[in-house]
Amino acid sequence: MPSSPPVYLDNHATPCVDPQVLEAMLPYFTEVYGNAASKNHVYGRDASRAVEDARADIAKAIGAKHQEIVFTSGATEAINLAIKGVAQATPENKRHFISVVTEHKAVLDCFQWLEENGCETTLLPVDTDGLIDLEELNGAVRDDTALVSVMAANNEIGVLQPIEEIGKICREIECYFMTDATQALGKIPLDVDKMNIDLLTCSGHKLYGPKGVGALYVRRSNPHVKATCQINGGGHERGFRSGTLNVPSIVGFARAVKLACSGMKKDQTRIQKMRDTLQRALLEAIPDAKVNGYLEQRLAGNLNISCQGVESEALIIRLKDTVAFSSGSACTTASIQPSHVLEALGRTEDEIYSSVRFGFGRFNTQKEIEQLAPEITEAVMELQAFAF
């Protein structure tokens, strides 16, 4: 008999596509296969209608207008379009940009690009729980600040930043507020008007949708956000982003958003119970175990934990046939550099290299977590005994 596959607990990197999402996508590969820009015949018009319906569904999920949604190849492209686009569209007296040291690499690399292209940047620190200080943000904003970019939910430690309060500060000084909501969409309530968000980035594959599709919300009024196109060639998406639209994935993305938002409270309550089960088991059995990030203001499905004396890669190998998880964000696991997020929290080198991230999702069950908890605990304790 073949052995069972390992339990998947790397849902922050990507969960599987929900079967209902796949079902919604399939007709757009073989039946409604027209180019959404070819509106002179029924095939193109049907594809265009599907795209606009999807745009409306995604807009509704964040309290936006459908015209404010720009489809992209994913959150990374959306982030590049937002940050570089705003920088190129703003006047010379608005050349200062603010973000946070724990942001996703897509944001941090764009901020490096800003520096190389004549802009001034400020990266705010975080406390030992991963939260920014609003007073420090107040002190950092200036008359020439063009944009403040703060992610809603951290991809490594799951910490939720005070987005609504940040939005108020930005509105008061009349600068744009951008948030990377890639990990947050469908997991916490988002409202661009209530939170004074001017630009928001997200991706389909983080909420049981397909890979290779994302979106950028760009506010059209109060204020009207100006951003320069980064991909030229046809003027698609109202001139923000050229290229033939990925209709099947856009349809799947919208379906995934609707499913996540309609079942958000129930899903997240169940997921948090699983997270808490494993967290409690590890903390009770392993005296030196430490959760990374704020314990309360955190994504329901996130558990980033350090176990002294146990290298994360050794634990991953030890449990490779039992459970799939990671040592950090999927975008940086190929690098030997320590997590910039955990460094920002003030973790020691040993704590950083002993940290692992468990990401719980819709298709995990309480039963499998209860069965896994003692196996993971035993593996940690065996490796600790070997190390000491």
Active-site annotation, residues? 331
Q: How far apart are the first and last CA of the chain?
A: 38
DSSP secondary structure of 158-209: -BBP-HHHHHHHHHHHT-EEEEE-TTTTTTS---TTTTT-SEEEEEGGGGTS
**272 C-beta neighbours (distance < 10 Å), count:** 17
DSSP secondary structure of 115-171: HHTT-EEEEE---TTSPPPHHHHHHH--TTEEEEE--SB-TTT-BBP-HHHHHHHHH
**CA–CA separation, 147 and 141 (whole Å):** 9
Collect all residues with Cβ–Cβ distance below 8 Å to 227 and sequence separation of at least 6: 81, 82, 85, 86, 88, 89, 199, 218, 240
Segments of 263-388 assigned E as strands: 290-291, 302-306, 323-324, 355-359
Where b means 16+ CB within 10 Å and e means fewer, 36-46 reads bbeeeeebbeb
**CA–CA separation, 341 and 222 (whole Å):** 34
